[in-house]
Structure 1
Amino acid sequence: MIYFLRTFVLIGLLLCVISCSSDSEARPSGDPETWESFAFPESDCQWNDLAPSAIPKLEAYPVIVGNKLYTFSGFTNGLAVIPETEIYDLISGQWSLGASMPLPVTHMGVARVNDDIWIVGGFAGDHPGTATSRVQIYSPGNDQWREGPELPVARASGSLVLVNGKLHHFGGLLPDRRTDINEHWVLDLNNINAGWKADDPLPIARNHLGGVALNGNIYAVGGQFGHDGGNEDVAFVHVYRTDTGNWDRLADMPLALSHFEAGIFVFENRIYVVGGISPNGARDTIFVYDPQSDTWSEFCGIPQRLLAPGARMYGNQLLVLNGGVNGAGSPISTFRYINLMNK
């Protein structure tokens, strides 16, 4: 049976009456009228296995360039950092290794710039790691790394988004691994020598948030307050409008959520969020945001509750790989996909 997008209905205490996960949670805040359904591609929600990655990991970032998927960094067993670049050939279905990251980091910002991959900041080394300001650029064409213009300060757990020829780095943590920041740094790729410049700060400081570009704007999604010594997941969503240079508040996520930074992406003018962690633990959900109507809904679901999986679209296939089963202690190598069918 074709699976249609589940809808959320506000009744009384804002209960989520239909959910792909095993538990239901109340929506924390936002306009009740945003709990509506919208048309979206269909799927039978049958997950298929692909060849697993060689290294089990979580918080690794996938980037697709051409017909290859590159995964960068992450934690493996014992929260050891992964320097290796794993490469999956989307045509042959085979994995290989690329050049290792010069300074292995986690909690970094990642963005594709043309055919290069920029890695900005992060915590260097095994957990807990030390914050860095370094910018590392990987070129798939020659399998080599080079240095980019450093951030003005050492930062980690922020988001990196490319829009209109500029890189935006926002949110994250101070080097103390506890203090949230609302800083917003911008690098004009047409004037790299000018370096990173401060821009309008994120309205609510937080870390482990997702970031994407859509229709010329930047979306800052979810995240958490704090890190070491206690944290709190949040549901906030903001949009940075590049035409005005200002941030606006949008409808909150269906629940407070973080640790999905590698699993947020845009497909057909909507934002997907795959997996992550909420106050009730790791999630098996896929949330979808429609910016035109400022609404959230839920789509399919993944076979396991995963903290920090990677997720991307390739053609009509939704790819989900790696992550931590029920948390950070159990990284996996699993790689799966479902097919989406346009209505």
Structure 2
Amino acid sequence: MTAANCGEKTLLALCSGINGKLLQYNKVEDKWQEYASINYGYKWYQTIIKDDNLLFIGGFKNRDTLNIVRSWNIRNKTWRDLPTMKQARKFHCVVELDGKIYAIGGYDGKNALSSVERYTTSAGWEFVNSLIAGRSGACAVTLNGKIYIMGGSAGLNNSKSVECYNPDSNTWTSCADTTECPYDPSAAAHNGRIYVLGDWSGNRTVERYDPQQDTWSKICSLGVGDYIISCVSLDNKLWAITVDYFVRKTYVSVYDEENDRWGQKCSLPVTSIDFCFVVPEALLMSNE
């Protein structure tokens, strides 16, 4: 069975550090368990699930910003190198749209980037039209066949600006600004809207964007954690992973849209979480 044909889905969390590992979530028992160890030796990369693989794109090592792309097969637990990006970047965004991987903006060690490139297995990496404004530390999602990028910074000041990419016309257009100025926020597309959560400074604010109305509104803020690691849409619910470094605890929260409040699930056993993904449960069964 391939990843595309699986039914039930769950969460897979990537933990960094000297001994990196992947943790999988058991929804029935509400607990986390180790899936595999994984070591990669650099930081400030972006990751994305593509088919049965976890792609590590760009990053930073030994004072160098990287353009490397590596693929780790979740089933076989093996690495392979993919074609390098045209632009070295860190603090960038990565999304998949229509089977293509996009690397957006970021920082090259000197400047915030406006460049955007797209990867396909047939053509490799190729540039598409650049962002209206360069930015690093932003967040991006796909919704209704388009890419949205929010927040980030191009210098000393954080940005409220939002841009939308239409792949049919290869153009970026401006959307309504967010109400906050988030740097390094988390974002997810969920039930036809976009949610942007917090930022690196400990802000727990949650904003929701309606693409039909081109408007932002605030919903119930997160009540736990001082840094928001990730948010995803799973089982028709919005999930958020937050860390409180003072008490060394990682929280898993689920949004109750009807009552506008957050509930808690089993916390993660570590604080070194970098990313969290939604994956088919069958993809992880080879480890059982």
TM-score (normalizing by structure 1): 0.67
Is the aligned partner of 1:183 residue 2:103?
Answer: no
- Cα distance change on mapping 1:324 and 1:252 into 2, 3 Å: farther
> Residue deviations 1:151-180, cap 9 Å, x none?
123211111111112111110011x2x421
Shift of 1:82: 6.4
After TM superposition, the structure 1 = structure 2 runs for residues 237-248 of structure 1, keeping only pairs within 5 Å, are: 237-248=162-173
CA contact (8 A) 2:224 2:244 kept: no
Distance 1:316 1:216 in 2: 19
After TM superposition, the structure 1 = structure 2 runs for residues 181-220 of structure 1, keeping only pairs within 5 Å, are: 181-189=113-121, 191=122, 194-220=123-149
Match of 1:232 in 2: 157
Secondary structure in 2 aligned to 1:319?
strand
Distance 1:82 1:246 in 2: 42
Higher strand residue share = 2
Is the aligned partner of 1:306 residue 2:226?
Answer: yes
Match of 2:90 in 1: 156
> Residue deviations 1:202-258, cap 9 Å, x none?
1111101111111111111111224xxxx4211110001111001001111112111
Identity of aligned residues (%): 23
Match of 1:266 in 2: 189
Amino acid of the structure 1 residue aligned with 2:120: D
Distance 2:248 2:138 in 1: 20
CA RMSD of aligned residues (A): 2.6
Match of 1:146 in 2: 80
CA contact (8 A) 2:225 2:242 kept: no
Match of 2:13 in 1: 71
Secondary structure in 1 aligned to 2:250?
coil
Is the aligned partner of 1:92 residue 2:66?
Answer: no
Match of 2:105 in 1: 171
Count how many residue pairs are aligned between Structure 1 and Structure 2.
254
> Residue deviations 1:113-172, cap 9 Å, x none?
2343322111248xxx64222212233333443332221232111111111121111100
Distance 1:143 1:272 in 2: 32
Distance 1:98 1:138 in 2: 14
Match of 1:36 in 2: none
For structure 2, the 5+ residue unaligned runs are 1-6, 260-288
Amino acid of the structure 2 residue aligned with 1:83: G
Match of 1:283 in 2: 203
Distance 1:81 1:301 in 2: 33
For structure 1, the 5+ residue unaligned runs are 1-64, 75-79
- Cα distance change on mapping 1:188 and 1:265 into 2, 3 Å: same
Distance 2:202 2:170 in 1: 35
> Residue deviations 1:255-278, cap 9 Å, x none?
211111xx211011110111214x
Shift of 1:69: 1.3
- Cα distance change on mapping 1:339 and 1:105 into 2, 3 Å: farther
Distance 2:60 2:15 in 1: 11
**Structure number with higher relative contact order (C-alpha < 8 Å, ≥ 6 residues apart):** 1
Distance 1:291 1:338 in 2: 20
Match of 1:335 in 2: 252
Secondary structure in 1 aligned to 2:12?
strand
Segments of 4+ moved more than 6 angstroms: none
- Cα distance change on mapping 1:324 and 1:82 into 2, 3 Å: farther
Distance 1:142 1:171 in 2: 32
